[in-house]
Amino acid sequence: MTFSRALCASLLATSCLLPAAALAQDATGLPPVDVESATSGAGEAAPLGGAVVGRDEIRRRQASTSDTADLLRSVPGVSANAGGGFSSMPAIRGMTEQRLRVTVDGHPIDLSCPNDMNSPLSYTDPQTIQAIRVLAGVAPVSAGGDNIGGVIDVTSARPQFSGQGSTISGELSAFYRSNGDGFGGSARVTVAGENLSATYTGSYTQSENYSGGGNRGVVRSTEFAKTDHALELAAQGGFGLVRLKGGYHFAPYEGFANQAMDMTDNRSWFVNLGYEGEFDFGSVRFTADYRDTDHEMNFLADKLPGAMPMNTEVHTFSAALKLDMPLSARDTLRTGWEYHHQWLNDYWPPVPGSMMMGPNTFVNLNAARRNRLGTFGEWEARWSERVTSVIGVRIDRVSMNTGTVQPYGTGMMNMDDAMAAAAFNAADRERAEVNWSASGIVSYALADGVSLELGYAHKARSPNLYERYSWGRGAMASRMIGWYGDGNGYVGNLNLRPERADTLSAALDAKGEGWSLRIAPYYTHVDDYIDAVFVKKITNMMGMPTPWVQLQFANQQAEFYGVDLSGEVALRRGAGRDGTTLSASLSWLRGQNLSDGGPLYRQMPLNARASLQHRQGPLEAGVELEWVSEKTRVDATRNEPVTAAYALLNLRLGYDLGAVQLSVEALNLLDKAYDLPLGGVSLGDHKATGLLRPVPGRGRSVNLGLSTRF
C-alpha cells in the first residue's frame, strides 16, 4: 500500500517534470505541414464528382451576371433554367428546384413562391460570394437530406481575425453591362481584432429588359433590381468560434419572361447563428437560423394592363448539429441531427371591380407547415494513402399539413375553384413520411495523378407544399402555380408519394504535368418521380382555345443518365502565374419519363465549351466558345418548344493595376440570335404581341468591371 502510494507519487512527480525537461532542451524542427480547408469548412468529404467555384473565378465573371445560378453553368453537368434576372434555377444533371438542396453558409433557404421566383440563390450576389460548392452525383448523406439531385452550398467570406491589434480589410466592386443598361456595386468591409471580427457585405444591382441576339429584339419582362445587406459578428476564444449574422434582402421588382406573373416586391430578413468547436474527440458544428420572407407578385409594365396581387409569407426555422469524430488516423465517424420548419401563407387579395377575382381573398395555402427532422451516421475511412471510403445512412421524417382554403367567390366564373376548395377542405390534409437515404463512395488512387471514384446513393425527398396542396382547378388559378416557365396550369395532388432515387456515379480523374482530364458518367433511376399528367386543355373566358394545358402533379418513373467530360492543357508556362491554358468541357444527358415514354422537361441538350486563357503579368485575356446542340427531345406533355443549335463567342480582358482590377468583356460578341433551351416560353412577349416564342438568349453585351481590395 505504502509502496504503491510512493510509486504513484514518484510517477506523478516525474510526469510533471518530464514535460518541463522536454521544454528545456532544444527540439528538432520539422518542416511545416500545409493544411487546405474544405471550402465550406464543414469538414465534409468533397467527392470527385463535385466542383468548387472559388472567389477568383467568381470575381472574373461577376460583371457578366447578377445571377448566381448562371455562374454555375461553367461547372460540367450544371445548367440553368431561366427565370428572372437573378433567379434562374440551377439544374444538376437534369434535376432541379426542390430536388436540390441549396444552402448559404450551410443554412438552407426554402423556395417560397408558387413560381419559385425567390429561389435560394436569388438571395446571393456574385459580387459578394466567396465560393460555391456543387456536389453532383452522389452526395454524402452528411451533406443534407430531402434532396435527390445534389447539393449546392454558397459560402460568404469566412471571418477573419488579426494576429495583433485591429485591422480593416475589404473589397469594393462595380460593374456596367451594355445590354439592358445593367449596373451594380458591392462592398465588403471587415474590421478584425484578435478575437472579434465584424464583416459588412452589401450589394445593389439593377437592369432594364435585355435584348435578344440578332433580330430577336427586346425580351420583355426581364428587368430587375435588388439589394442585399448583411452584418456578421464573429468571436473566437477557448470555446471555439461563434458567428452571428443578420441580413436583409429587398427586391422591388423582377420581371419573369416565362411566367404569367412578375415579382413586384420581395423582402426577406434572416438571422444565422453558427458555432464551430474543436475538441479532443472531434469537431462540433451547430447552426440555427430564422428567416422571414414577404413575397408579392403582380404585373410589371410589360404585362399591363391588369392587376392580380398574389402574396406569400414564409417563416422558416432550422437547427442542425453535426459531430465529426476522428476515431483514429484511419476512421472518422460523423453524425448529426437536423430540424427544419417551414410555415407558409399564400393568399391572393380580391381585385376591386373584377367579377372573377373577388369578392373574397383567394386562399391558396393557409398556414401550411412542413417540418422535417433528420439524423444521419457516416463513416469515413482512409484505408491507405490510396483508398478512402465514405458510407452513411440517413433518416428524415417529413410532416406536412395545411388549413382550409377558399376561392375568390362561388359564382359561375369560379365554379371550378369553388368545388375544388370544398373537396380540399373536406379531405384529410395531414401527411407524414419517413424517408431513408444512404450513400457509399469509394475513392481509389490508381496511380500517381490518377484516381477513380465510385458511388452509389439512395436518396429520397418528400413533395413540397405546392406540389401537395395547390388545389385550384380553375384555368386561371392553376396557371398561377408552377415553376416550369411553360405557361401551363398545375394542380397539386394530396396523394403524392416521396420521390426515391437510386444513383450510380463514377469519376475518373487524371492529372499530369500541365494537363488534367475528368470523365464522370452517371445513372439515376427515380421511383415516384413527381412529374405532371394531362388534365384538360385550358380555354379562355370566351371558351376559346389557348396554347396552354392544365396538368396535375403525379408520381411517375424516370431515369437520367449521361456523362460529363472536362479537361485542361497548359500550352505555355511562364514565370509565376503567367501562362496559356486551354480548357474544355462537354456534357451529355438523357432524361426520360419511363411512365409515358417521353423525354423529361427541361433537359439540357448536348453542350460543350472551350476556352483559351492567357495570363501575362498584370494582363489576363480569354476567349471562350460555347456550343449547344439543338433541342429536339422535348416534353410533349408540357408543349415544350424545340430550340435550334447555337454557338456563342465570348471575349474577356482583365488588367490588374495593383490597387484596382479592371475587366472588359464582350459576351455573345457576334450578337448571335438564339433561344434558351431551358428558357421555356416568353409570356411577357406573348402578352404584349400575341406571338408565342421561346425565351431568346441575351444578345451582345459589353461589360465593364472594376474592383479593388484593401
Partner 1 sequence: MGSAAGTGQGGKARLVSGLASLALHALAAAGVLAVSGMEPPSVPHGPARLTVVTLKAEARPPAPEPEETVHPRAGGEPRPAAPPILAQAPEQSFAAGPAPALPEAPVAQVRQAPALPPPPPPAVRQERAEDGFAAYQQQLWRHIAARRPQGAGLSGEATVRFRLSPAGALLSAEIAGSSGSANLDRIALRTLRLASPMPAPPQGVASERLVFTLPVRFH
Q: Which of residues 419-478 bind partner 1 (CB under 8 A)?
A: 428-434, 436, 438, 440, 442, 444, 456, 458
| 394 and 437 Cβ atoms separated by less than 8 Å | yes
| 91 and 485 Cβ atoms separated by less than 8 Å | no
Smallest separation (angstroms) from partner 1 to the CB of 458: 6
Alpha helix ranges (H) inside 51-171: 55-61, 68-71
Question: 350: how many CB neighbours lie within 10 A of its CB?
Answer: 16
| 417 and 464 Cβ atoms separated by less than 8 Å | no
Stretch that binds partner 1, among 389-397, 480-488, 515-523, 547-555 (CB under 8 A): 389-397
- Residue 392 CA to chain centroid, in angstroms? 23
Residue 557 binds partner 1 (CB under 8 A): no
Smallest separation (angstroms) from partner 1 to the CB of 390: 10
Indicate the SS3 state at residue 424: helix
- In the bound state with partner 1, the residue whose beta carbon lies nearer, of 156 and 593, is 156
Of the candidates 203, 183, 153, the one whose C-alpha atom is nearest the C-alpha of residue 52 is: 153
- In the bound state with partner 1, the residue whose beta carbon lies nearer, of 227 and 389, is 389
- In the bound state with partner 1, the residue whose beta carbon lies nearer, of 243 and 700, is 243
Of the candidates 97, 101, 51, the one whose C-alpha atom is nearest the C-alpha of residue 72 is: 51
Residues 310-339 that bind partner 1 (CB under 8 A): 326-331, 333
Smallest separation (angstroms) from partner 1 to the CB of 130: 10
- In the bound state with partner 1, the residue whose beta carbon lies nearer, of 313 and 502, is 502
Binding residue for partner 1 (CB under 8 A) from 52, 55, 57, 194?
194
Residues 605-634 that bind partner 1 (CB under 8 A): none
| Cα–Cα distances in angstroms (integers) from residue 59 to residues 55, 68, 76, 246, 656, in the given order | 6, 12, 19, 24, 12
Q: Which three cell numbers stand for residue 430?
A: 395531414
Residue 399 binds partner 1 (CB under 8 A): yes
Smallest separation (angstroms) from partner 1 to the CB of 198: 16
Binding residue for partner 1 (CB under 8 A) from 40, 312, 566, 637?
40
Smallest separation (angstroms) from partner 1 to the CB of 235: 11
- In the bound state with partner 1, the residue whose beta carbon lies nearer, of 280 and 513, is 280
Residue 37 binds partner 1 (CB under 8 A): yes
- In the bound state with partner 1, the residue whose beta carbon lies nearer, of 387 and 619, is 387
The Cα 514–Cα 512 span in angstroms is: 6
Residues 258-287 that bind partner 1 (CB under 8 A): 276-280, 282-283
Smallest separation (angstroms) from partner 1 to the CB of 462: 9
Binding mask 14-33 for partner 1 (x = CB under 8 A): xx--xx-xxx-xxxxxxxxx
Residue 571 binds partner 1 (CB under 8 A): no
Stretch that binds partner 1, among 178-186, 235-243, 418-426, 567-575 (CB under 8 A): 235-243
- In the bound state with partner 1, the residue whose beta carbon lies nearer, of 292 and 433, is 433
| Cα–Cα distances in angstroms (integers) from residue 601 to residues 95, 185, 482, 485, 677, in the given order | 10, 36, 13, 11, 11
Stretch that binds partner 1, among 115-123, 384-392, 472-480, 668-676 (CB under 8 A): 384-392
- In the bound state with partner 1, the residue whose beta carbon lies nearer, of 338 and 378, is 378
| 159 and 234 Cβ atoms separated by less than 8 Å | yes
Binding mask 364-383 for partner 1 (x = CB under 8 A): -------------xxx-x-x
- In the bound state with partner 1, the residue whose beta carbon lies nearer, of 329 and 544, is 329
Q: Which residues contact 55 (CB under 8 A, 6 or more apart)?
A: 129, 130, 131
Residue 4 binds partner 1 (CB under 8 A): no
Residue 57 binds partner 1 (CB under 8 A): no
- In the bound state with partner 1, the residue whose beta carbon lies nearer, of 329 and 542, is 329
Residue 39 binds partner 1 (CB under 8 A): yes
| 132 and 149 Cβ atoms separated by less than 8 Å | no
Residue 240 binds partner 1 (CB under 8 A): yes
Smallest separation (angstroms) from partner 1 to the CB of 171: 17
Instruction: For the chain, give the longest Cα–Cα distance.
Output: 106
Question: 349: how many CB neighbours lie within 10 A of its CB?
Answer: 17
Residue 60 binds partner 1 (CB under 8 A): no
Q: Which residues contact 310 (CB under 8 A, 6 or more apart)?
A: 114, 261, 296, 297, 298, 346, 347, 348, 364, 480
- In the bound state with partner 1, the residue whose beta carbon lies nearer, of 194 and 208, is 194
**Which residue has 458518367 as its cell numbers?**
521
Q: Which residues pair with 503 in a beta bridge?
A: 457, 524
- In the bound state with partner 1, the residue whose beta carbon lies nearer, of 23 and 575, is 23
Smallest separation (angstroms) from partner 1 to the CB of 39: 8
Q: What are phi and psi of 637, to 5 degrees?
A: -60, -35
Smallest separation (angstroms) from partner 1 to the CB of 509: 17
The Cα 106–Cα 338 span in angstroms is: 12
Residue 3 binds partner 1 (CB under 8 A): no
Q: Which residues contact 101 (CB under 8 A, 6 or more apart)?
A: 108, 143, 144, 145, 146, 147, 150, 151, 152
Residue 192 binds partner 1 (CB under 8 A): no
| 116 and 83 Cβ atoms separated by less than 8 Å | yes
Binding residue for partner 1 (CB under 8 A) from 267, 369, 497, 525?
497
- In the bound state with partner 1, the residue whose beta carbon lies nearer, of 248 and 444, is 444
Smallest separation (angstroms) from partner 1 to the CB of 56: 14
Residue 393 binds partner 1 (CB under 8 A): yes
Count of residues engaged in binding partner 1, rule: CB under 8 A: 81
Residues 106-135 that bind partner 1 (CB under 8 A): none
Q: Which three cell numbers stand for residue 147?
A: 434532396
Q: How buried is 151 (Cβ within 10 angstroms: 0-12 exposed, 13-18 middle, 19+ buried)?
A: buried
| Cα–Cα distances in angstroms (integers) from residue 325 to residues 379, 393, 394, in the given order | 10, 16, 17
Residues 667-686 that bind partner 1 (CB under 8 A): none
Question: 698: how many CB neighbours lie within 10 A of its CB?
Answer: 24
Stretch that binds partner 1, among 9-17, 117-125, 263-271, 505-513 (CB under 8 A): 9-17
Residues 141-180 that bind partner 1 (CB under 8 A): 158-159, 161, 163
How far is the first Cα of the chain from the last one, in angstroms, to the nearest whole number?
68
